[in-house]
Amino acid sequence: MFPFKTSFYLDRKSKQALYLQLSNQFIRLIKERKLLPETKLPGSRTLAELLNVHRKTVVACYEELLLQGWVESIPKKGTFINAKLPELHQQEFVQKKEVLSTKKVGFQFYKDASLQRISPEIKEGFMMFNDGISDARLTPTEDLARTYRRICSKKNIYKEMSYGSLFGNEKLRITLADYLNKTRGLNINKDNVIITRGSQMGIFLSAKLLLQKNDNIIVGQTNYTSADTNFLQRKANLLRVSVDKNGLVTDEIEQICQNKSIKAVYVTSHHHHPTTVTLSAERRIHLLNLAKKYSFAIIEDDYDYDFNYNHSPILPLASHDTNGNVIYIGSVCKTVAPVFRIGYIIAPNSFVNEAANQRRFIDRQGDALLELTFEDFIKSGDLDRHIKKVMKVYKARRDLFCKLLKEQFSTVFTFDKPKGGMAVWLTLNKKYSWKTVAEIANKYQLEIGEWQRYDNAKIGHNSIRVGFAMYNEEEIFALIDRLFKTMQEVKNQEISL
C-alpha cells in the first residue's frame, strides 16, 4: 500500500493553490516510478482526510491530472494512474533533491566559432572599463513613465495592442522622419523608415539583406566587433582597410574596388568605433562617389550622433546621398538608456520593405506602446532637452577623466581627447600587455573586460575603449585610483623581470 499520508507536503503559505501543489507532487511521484501505471488512487474523501484538506482540493487535483493525461477515470471503479504511460528514462541522482545541472545537455546543437563569448556579469563592488555607456541615472524616467501612463489610459489604446505594422508604429515613423530631416539634414518620409530594437537589429537585418557566402564587405582594421560578427555570420569576406586620424582610408577602398566586387562598406563615420575619430569631409565625398561608381552599399552606423563637445554634429553621409547608396542606422538606446530598445533603419523604400519582410521572422514587430511613448518624447522636444542636459554632464566627465589620465599615466597610456562620444581610445605602452593589466586589476576590483575584441585584425595596436560617461565625478576618482594601483603593480612586475 502506497503511503499517501506521508508522501505529500502542502505549504499553506505558498501563493500556489493547494490543488496544484498536490497535482505537481503526484506527477513527480509518477515520473519517479513510485506510483506505477494502473495504481488505484484513494477516493477523494479518503485522501482529503489523510492530507487534512477539503475534498474539493482533491477533486480539483484529480481533474487536473486527468486533463494532463496522468490518470484515467474508470466508471464505478475509481481513478487510476494511466496504464499507457511509458517509462521516463532519466539521470539517476545520488541525492533525492539534486537537480539537473544546467551544463548538461541531452541533444546535439551547432556552435558558431565567430560569436564572441558571453561577457561575465560584474561582481559586487567592482568597477568596469565599459565600451562607452550612458549613465542610466540621468534617464528621465519620471517623464517617460508619465507619458507611458497617459498613452495607456487612452480609450482607444486597445487598437495599438494587437499585431501591428512590421515597419513599426506609423506615428513614430512619421515623427522620426521629420526629426531626422531637421537634425541630420536627411530628406526622407515614413516609407524610408523601419523601427528596430536598436542598432544591433539594424546591422543584423542589413547584413542579412546584403551579404551571402563569400560576398566582400569592407571594414576598418579596427572596427565594431558586433558588426564584424554579424558579417561573419553571413559567411562574408571581411576586407580591412586602415583607419587613421581622418577615419577609414578611402584610397585603400578604391584600390580594393578596382580589383574585387564589393557588396558593402561598413562605417561609423561620426565617431569611428572603436577609435572615436571622425571621417573627414574629403573622405566622405570620396566614399559616396565610390559607392555610386562601384554600386556598393554604405552601412552608416551613427551610434552616438548626439554627443559632440567641441562643435556641432557633422551631418551623416546619408544627408549627402542622392543615389540611394546609404543605409543609415541609429537608435535612442545610447542617448536615453540601453533598456529602451528603439532604433531605426533609414534606406530606400524597396530595401526597407524587404527588411520588414525579414524582421517578421525574428521579432514580428516592436513594442507599440513604447514606440508611442518615444514618439511623444521626440515630438514634445523632451528628447532635445534631455540631450542638452546630459551633454553638459558628459563633457565635464570627459574633461575630468582625460585630465586625470594625462596627469597620472603619461608614461603608460597615450590618447587623444575625444571630440564626442562616451569613450576614450586608450593605447597602452607596448612594453606592457592588457592581459597582465587585466589580471592584476582584478585584485583591485577593476574589470578590464574583453580587451582582445578591439583587435580582431591582430595588428597589435595595444589599445582599448574606456567609457567615462556612466561614472560621476566621485566614481571617476575611484576608477583612476584603482587603475593607478594596478599600473604600479604592473610596473613593479616589469622591473622584477
Instruction: Provide the residue ranges of all domains of the chain, joining segments of one domain with +.
Output: 4-81, 127-135+389-496, 138-384
- 396 pLDDT band (50/70/90 cuts)? very high
Spatial neighbors of 434 by CB under 8 A, at least 6 apart, are 428, 448, 451, 452, 462, 464
pLDDT(118) > 70? no
> By C-alpha distance, which of 342, 415, 378, 46 is closest to 195?
342
> Cell for 10?
502542502
- Please tell me which residue, 350 or 362, carries the higher pLDDT value: 350
Q: What is the mean pLDDT of the chain?
A: 91
Amino acid at 181: N
Listed range (45-59, 89-103, 329-343, 465-479) with the worst mean pLDDT? 89-103
CATH class of 138-384: alpha beta
> By C-alpha distance, which of 426, 428, 416 is closest to 487?
428
Helix axes 170-184, 368-379, angle to 10 degrees: 40
At 266-275, the pLDDT tens digits run: 999 999 999 9
pLDDT(103) > 70? no
With cell 536627411, the residue in question is 186
First to last CA, the chain: 75
pLDDT(391) > 70? yes
Q: The CATH number of 127-135+389-496 is which of 3.40.50.1000, 3.90.1150.10, 3.30.930.10, 3.40.50.720?
A: 3.90.1150.10
At 121-171, the pLDDT tens digits run: 778 889 999 999 999 999 999 999 999 999 999 988 888 888 888 999 999
pLDDT(12) > 70? yes
State the Cα–Cα distance between residues 486 and 444, nearest whole angstrom. 7
State the Cα–Cα distance between residues 240 and 276, nearest whole angstrom. 17
Amino acid at 394: Y
Listed range (228-242, 289-303, 331-345, 400-414) with the worst mean pLDDT? 331-345
State the Cα–Cα distance between residues 406 and 412, nearest whole angstrom. 10
At 171-187, the pLDDT tens digits run: 999 999 999 999 999 99
State the Cα–Cα distance between residues 232 and 223, nearest whole angstrom. 13
Q: What is the dihedral of CA 253, 259, 265, 268, to 10 degrees?
A: -20
> By C-alpha distance, which of 76, 88, 77, 94 is closest to 27?
88
Which pLDDT value is given to residue 90?
59
> By C-alpha distance, which of 239, 310, 243, 252 is closest to 276?
243
Task: Give, in degrees to the nearest 5, the angle at Cα 114 between 108 and 116.
Answer: 95
Which pLDDT value is given to residue 39?
93
Instruction: Find the mean pLDDT for residues 417-431.
Output: 94
Is 344 in contact with 196 (CB distance < 8 Å)? yes
Residues composing the chain: 497
Which pLDDT value is given to residue 117?
63
Strand partners, 326: 298
Which pLDDT value is given to residue 337?
86
Listed range (19-33, 50-64, 97-111, 377-391) with the worst mean pLDDT? 97-111
Three-class DSSP labels, the chain: CCCHHHCCCCCCCCCCCHHHHHHHHHHHHHHCCCCCCCCECCCHHHHHHHHCCCHHHHHHHHHHHHHHCCEEEECCCEEEECCCCCCCCCCCCCCCCCCCCCCCCCCCCCCCCCCCCCCCCCCCCCEECCCCCCCHHHCCHHHHHHHHHHHHCCCCHHHHCCCCCCCCCHHHHHHHHHHHHHHHCCCCCHHHEEEECCHHHHHHHHHHHHCCCCCEEEEECCCCHHHHHHHHHCCCEEEEECEECCEECHHHHHHHHCCCCCCEEEECCCCCCCCCCCCCHHHHHHHHHHHHHHCCEEEEECCCCCCECCCCCCCCHHHHCCCCCEEEEEECCCCCCCCCCCEEEECCHHHHHHHHHHHCCCCCCCCHHHHHHHHHHHHCCHHHHHHHHHHHHHHHHHHHHHHHHHHHCCCCEECCCCCECCEEEEEECCCCCHHHHHHHHHHHCEECCCHHHHHCCCCCCCEEEEECCCCCHHHHHHHHHHHHHHHHHHHHHHHHC
Does 3.40.50.1370 match the CATH number of domain 4-81?
A: no
pLDDT(477) > 70? yes
State the Cα–Cα distance between residues 263 and 261, nearest whole angstrom. 7
- Please tell me which residue, 126 or 99, carries the higher pLDDT value: 126
pLDDT(97) > 70? no
State the Cα–Cα distance between residues 206 and 215, nearest whole angstrom. 14
> Cell for 476?
571617476
